[in-house]
Amino acid sequence: MLASIKPLIILEPYMEKPTKKKRNICCIGAGYVGGPTMTMIASKCSEIKITVVDINKNRIDSWNSADLTKLPIYEPGLAEILSKVRNKNLFFSNDVKGAISKADIIFLSVNTPTKIKGIGKGKASNLEYLENSVREIAKYSKGHTIIVEKSTVPVKTAETIELLLNSSCLDNVNNEKKTYSVISNPEFLAEGSAIKDLEKPDRVLIGGKDQNAVKEIKELYLSWVSSEKILTTNLWSSELSKLTANAFLAQRVSSINTISAICEKTGANIAEVSRAIGTDQRIGKNFLNAGPGFGGSCFKKDILSLVYLCIYYRLDEVAKYWENVIAINNWQQDRISRLIIGNLFGTIENKKIAILGFAFKADTNDTRESPAIKISKNLLQEGAKLSIYDPKVEEEKINFELNSCFDDVACSIDKSKWKKFDSIEDTLKGADAVVLLTEWEEFKYLPWSNLFKLLRKPAWIFDTRNILDPNDFCSEGINLWINGIGEYSN
């Protein structure tokens, strides 16, 4: 008689199964974090109803637009996923009161910009929008509600939220029993790859005191994220981890940009140096590309928040250290501006300069803290006339950024001094110089042999992103500067 044969057992990575539970989620804030994050959760958790609310009617109308090219933000892959869940289990609305009153879980994804006046000006975060949202939650929520910090916030913000909620309960005229659990669940999204980051995150961080609430938020992510990638901490560790991650990444950008300047002086090639040090496993290859400096909504703001925290606790040396990361970023943008002016015979008065790219990075239409803003303002202040092209950034947004007041840079720009074009040919026509500021894929393969003819000779091309091939620039009268390599003159 044959011995019984045991079936072959294939061991797979352990993936904790979430407990299916009918939930109502409200997300306050329909911006770069709230919109994509809720779209992903809706696509992975079909049993959950999600409502994203915002007081900005135009923004909500854009999210509800039948034309998916009219979404308020551009993110590769977003429109395709949104089309499958919108108006099924994902809704966009201006009815803040209604969404809050029905929600079991509320994500706070509102903007927390750096203060531009008052105590902490230029460093502390402005929590006005967050406070207003919390007061709305206290007013309209029912029963027990889990409040999830998704916005990037200063350390100890959860304490402020708890205080506001507890204080508001004292004004509860209907004597309704309301309770809350505050959770920190910071986003670690890179614009341009947010959908990929959401679908396959390096980690999901959840911090909180109420372990039942922590478990409930964890169950959301277990629908598509393996349990070993979900980290749980206390509230303060979670809040500080977000600031620290962005500070470390920004530090790498500033560090490599200082080396790019040394490369130009010594004859070294920044691309070769970056590749050499990036192969060291202790360092790694990411965030080692020379450029015009970091931008976006988080890096600068989070470092300033960290600086303010250090000053508050009288850690002055630590504050100065992180302030220097931002100082190097500003220096890089000023260095590029001076280099452009210097190579155009020391003056750019009434000279036409073509700006290729206004978004802070490729694959996004976000212009917040974009290096293009400061460099453009520097050139305009020197009398230049700018022609600007970006495949995703609208003219209205460029106008807003060029006329914004921050860092004491002039904030009133004559509209006749710049123009947004819809084609690269029109942008370059008659230009004395071309400044490449965003690493859009299409800029890497431009037909320079034809575009040369449009420029006024002798012309300069300034590649701040180090993406062009010098072999494409052999025409007489064309001069090329590549960040971290130097000048190629003909």
Among residues 235, 53, 88, 224, which one has the least CA distance to residue 161?
235
* 181's tokens: 């659990």
* Helix segments in 6-90, DSSP class H: 34-44, 57-63, 78-85
The type of residue at 327 is A
β-sheet bridge partners, residue 385: 352
| 169 has catalytic annotation | no
Measured CA distances, 381 to 67, 268, 335 (Å): 39, 33, 15
Measured CA distances, 111 to 31, 120, 130, 217, 295 (Å): 8, 17, 8, 22, 16
Among residues 289, 292, 433, 258, which one has the least CA distance to residue 360?
292
Cβ atoms within 10 A of the Cβ of 111, count?
Answer: 18
Residue of 26, 27, 45, 298 marked catalytic = 298
The type of residue at 48 is I
- Burial-class residue 36 by CB neighbours within 10 Å (0-12, 13-18, 19+): buried
Measured CA distances, 250 to 275, 299, 304 (Å): 19, 6, 12
Q: What is the side-by-side order of every strand in the sheet holding 486-488?
A: 418-420, 385-389, 352-356, 433-436, 459-463, 478-482, 486-488
What is the DSSP secondary structure assignment for residue 88, as one 8-state letter? T
What is the DSSP secondary structure assignment for residue 125, as one 8-state letter? B
Angstrom distance (rounded) from CA 335 to CA 291: 12
* Whether residue 72 has a cis bond before it, omega within 30° of 0: no
Angstrom distance (rounded) from CA 232 to CA 205: 6
Give residue for tokens 């914004």: 404
Q: How far is CA 254 from the centre of its chain?
A: 17
Kindly list the catalytic residues.
298
